[in-house]
């Protein structure tokens, strides 16, 4: 029964409106060029389905994987994260070719596809597993993130995004991966807003 309840909650979480199919290039199938520099970035901004969907569309991004980060339980399950017993947020791991796209460009897109001013979740998805967090892998990522937050605050946004060092990333269950590409649905809890004015 607990599994059925979790699946029911899953169906309600980040439910979709519309049936627009993503393009083939948005499905995370691109690989970095052999001479490229592979790096990783980690973001949490509400339901990981939508964050994954939008970040996969960036040229130079090789793959985006949904998962969990920031908690205290080893190998957490979706049910544990949903029940707030593991301490994790829904996050994504972005693998990108740094010779084709910089970290700051990915982080900028992250801040444009979710609401970094919402403190209790994202859209209708409320709870600690849906908080806005950037998990930086090194000082350069931390500085770039703080610079972008500063730009948003200068524009009047009361940014509540947490900036934390990257921790263990636990991939989510297979049925979460490339959710919108598999279902042909479109996320309704994420949408791009050009907050940086370009």
Return the active site residues. 47
What are the start-end ranges of the H helices in the chain?
2-12, 48-55, 78-82, 103-113, 139-154, 179-183
Interatomic CA distance for residues 37 and 78, integer angstroms: 32
Residue 6: which region, alpha, beta or left (left: phi > 0; alpha: psi -120 to 50)? alpha
- Distance, in Å, from the CA atom of 18 to the CA atom of 6, rounded to the nearest integer, reads 24
The owner of tokens 């200068």 is 154
Cβ 55 vs Cβ 64: under 8 Å? yes
């Amino acid at each position: 029964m607990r599994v059925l309840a979790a699946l029911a909650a899953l169906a309600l979480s980040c439910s979709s409106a519309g049936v627009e199919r993503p393009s083939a290039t948005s499905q995370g199938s691109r690989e970095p060029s052999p001479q490229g520099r592979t790096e990783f970035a980690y973001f949490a901004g509400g339901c990981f389905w939508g964050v994954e969907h939008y970040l996969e569309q960036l040229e130079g991004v090789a793959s985006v994987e949904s998962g969990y980060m920031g908690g205290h339980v080893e190998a957490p399950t979706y049910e544990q994260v949903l029940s707030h017993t593991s301490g994790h947020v829904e996050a994504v791991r972005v693998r990108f070719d740094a010779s084709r796209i910089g970290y700051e460009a990915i982080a900028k897109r992250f801040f444009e596809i979710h609401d970094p001013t919402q403190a209790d979740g994202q859209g209708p998805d409320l709870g600690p597993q849906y908080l806005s967090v950037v998990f930086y892998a090194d000082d350069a990522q931390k500085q770039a993130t703080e610079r972008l937050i500063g730009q948003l605050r200068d524009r009047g946004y009361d940014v509540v995004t947490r900036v934390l060092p990257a921790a263990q990333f636990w991939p989510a269950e297979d049925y979460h991966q490339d959710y919108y590409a598999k279902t042909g649905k479109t996320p309704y809890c994420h949408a791009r807003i050009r907050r940086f004015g370009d």
